[in-house]
């Protein structure tokens, strides 16, 4: 199992990973935007030349006229999408992908924390984020997903080095 930085041509392989999960419907433009803007935040897990998992992440920079909460005033990372093929679960892949991306968020972009959304029903993912990676639930966003399901908004603050 090998983890490496994602490249533009990985898009098809990444999409194939998405077939059996419940991913949101991101446009191709959105993927390309990630690849161009934050190339070091997205990673794929490769096995025998096939992509068996990936993380797609971005940075949120504070805007000058941002009237939001205080926590939004600092640059932070956001996990747009993370997925691991079913037969490659329970191997710690998601954790490895996540740590790679977090490392880059914190060292390259000086992110203060990382955020993500998770489906309320996705117990396995919830336990990964909370128990293994140390995320905490910040709020519940009602009907966040296109199919009407609620999402937990989760966060993990980086240790300042």
Partner 1 sequence: MSAATLERQFRPIYESLDNGSNKSAIVSCNKILKKYPNNLLCKALKALALVRSQKVEESLALCDEILAAKPLDEPTISAMMHVLKGLGRNTDLVAMCEEAYKAQPQNEEYGAQAFFAHIRAGNWKSAQQISTKMHKQFQEDRYLYWSANDPSTATSMRTLLYKLAHRLVTSSPTPSYLSADRFHMHLSILKELALYDEANTLLESDVGKAICSTSLACSQTRRDIRRKQGSFTEEGARAQERIAEGDRNWLEFLSVLDAAFVPVALSQGDPSEGSTRQCRENIEKARTFLADIANKDGAKNRAAPLALVDLEHRAYKHGLNDVIAVIGSMEHYFTQFGDKACCFEDLRGYLEPEIASSERWRAVLSANQPSFESVDTLQRLINVRKFQRHCLSEVEITVEAETARGVQYLSEYMNGLALGKDLPVTELQPADDLALLAAHAFVSVWTLNGSQDALCNAATLLEFGLTKSRMSFLMHMMLIRIYRILGAPALALDHYRAMNVKRVQNDTLSHLVLSRALTFSLAATGDLTYPTECLESSQIYLANAQETSDFVVRAFTSERYTQIPEFIEFEDRLENSLQRDVVKLEHVRMRLTHEQLHTDIIDMELIELKFIFDRLHQDNRDFVILPNYQPACRPTFNEQSLMFGTSCGLGWLWSFLKIYIRAFQHASDLDETVEEKLLIGDRPKKSPDPETKLPLPERLAIRKPEEAAELTSEELRLMEWATALGDWLEPHHNYTRPPPHVVLAEAAKQTELKTGLPLRGVDLKALNDMNGHSKKDEEAPPIKEAPELVVKFFEGMHTHFKQLLENNGSPSRLLHAATITQEAYILLAVETLRFKTPSVVKIHKLGNLATMIKDIRQRVNSIVKEMSSELLKVGEAEGTVDRRSAFVQACVPVTLGQIDHDFVLNIAKNVTDARKKVVEGVAKGMAKLHSTHSQS
Number of residues that bind partner 1 (CB under 8 A): 47
Nearer to partner 1, 107 or 136 (CB): 107
4 binds partner 1 (CB under 8 A): yes
Residue 145 DSSP SS3: coil
- Nearest Cα residue to 155 out of 132, 128, 136, 133: 136
Least separation in angstroms between residue 128's CB and partner 1 is 15
What value does the CA radius of gyration of the chain take, rounded to a whole number of Å? Answer: 15
- Nearest Cα residue to 101 out of 18, 33, 25, 158: 158
Q: Scanning residues 66 to 125, which ones bind partner 1 (CB under 8 A)?
A: 86-92, 100, 103-104, 107-108, 121-123
β-strand partners of 154: 116, 137
- Binding footprint of partner 1 on the chain (CB under 8 A): 1-5, 7-9, 11-12, 15-16, 18-22, 25-29, 32-33, 35-36, 39-40, 43, 47-48, 50, 86-92, 100, 103-104, 107-108, 121-123
């Amino acid at each position: 199992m090998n983890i490496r930085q994602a490249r533009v041509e990985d898009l098809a392989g990444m999409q194939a990973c998405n077939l059996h999960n419940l991913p949101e419907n991101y446009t191709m433009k959105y993927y390309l935007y990630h690849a161009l803007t934050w190339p070091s935040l997205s990673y794929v897990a490769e096995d025998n030349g096939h992509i068996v998992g990936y993380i797609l992440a971005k940075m949120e920079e504070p805007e000058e006229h941002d009237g939001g909460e205080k926590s939004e005033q600092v640059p932070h990372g956001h996990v747009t999408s993370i997925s691991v093929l079913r037969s490659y679960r329970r191997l710690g892949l998601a954790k490895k992908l996540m740590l790679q991306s977090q490392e880059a968020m914190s060292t390259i972009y000086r992110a203060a924390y990382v955020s993500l959304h998770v489906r309320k029903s996705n117990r396995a993912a919830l336990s990964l984020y909370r128990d293994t990676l140390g995320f905490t639930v910040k709020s519940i966003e009602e009907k966040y997903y296109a199919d009407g399901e609620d999402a937990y908004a989760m966060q993990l603050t980086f240790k300042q080095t």
